Amino acid sequence: MIKVRVLPKAAEFRNELIKAGFEEAMEHIPEAEVFWEFLNCMAGSGICRCHGSGGDVDCDIRNCANSKGIEMCVTCESYPCKRFDPMFKKFPVLVKDNQLLRDRGMDVWMRFQEERSSGDFVYPSVCSHAFTCQDKKK
C-alpha cells in the first residue's frame, strides 16, 4: 500500500523539480545530492535505499527495520524507540507527522501532506538521509 501511494507522488515531484531546474541548482543547495538520490529511488521503486542491500550497513535504524521485515518504522510495535532520538532532535516535525501516520493511517496522513503542500509549509531538509549514522555517533 505504501509503495502504491508514494511512488506516483515521488515521480510527480521529481518531474516538477526537473522542470523547475533543480538539477542545475543542486550545487548551491546543501545535501542536494543525497536528497536527489533518495527521490530518484522513491520515484523509481517506491522503496527507500536503506531497505535491502542499500544504505549504511552500520545504521541501527536500517538494520532493525530489515531484521523485522518492515517498510516503515512507524508500523513497528516498538516505535518510537531510542534509535530515533537523535533524528527527532534534529527534525522535531517528524514526531507529530509520524504519530499522525501511526494513529490515523496513510490516507489521513496523505491528505494532511497535500493540504500542507498547498500552503506555506516547507520541510526544511527533512529527508531521512540528511540524517546519517555519522550524526548519530556524534
- If asked whether residues 73 and 98 sit together in one domain, one would say yes
**35 and 68 within one domain:** no
pLDDT in tens, 77-97: 998 899 888 878 877 878 888
The rounded distance, in Å, linking the Cα atoms of 65 and 92 is: 21
Contact call for residues 95 and 79 (beta carbons, < 8 A): no
Mean pLDDT of the residues in the chain: 74
6 shares its domain with 70: no
What's the domain count of the chain?
2
Please indicate, yes or no, if residue 53 is contained in any of the structural domains: no
CA distance 69 to 46: 16
Q: Are residues 66 and 39 in the same domain?
A: no
Does residue 134 lie in a domain region?
A: yes
The 10 Å Cβ neighbour count of residue 130 is: 17
Q: Model's pTM, two decimal places? A: 0.53
Cα–Cα distance, 15 to 95 (Å, whole number): 29
Cell of 30: 546543501
Structural domain of residue 134, as residue ranges? 58-138
Residue 52 placed within a domain = no
| Tens-place pLDDT, residues 55-79 | 667 778 888 888 898 878 888 899 8
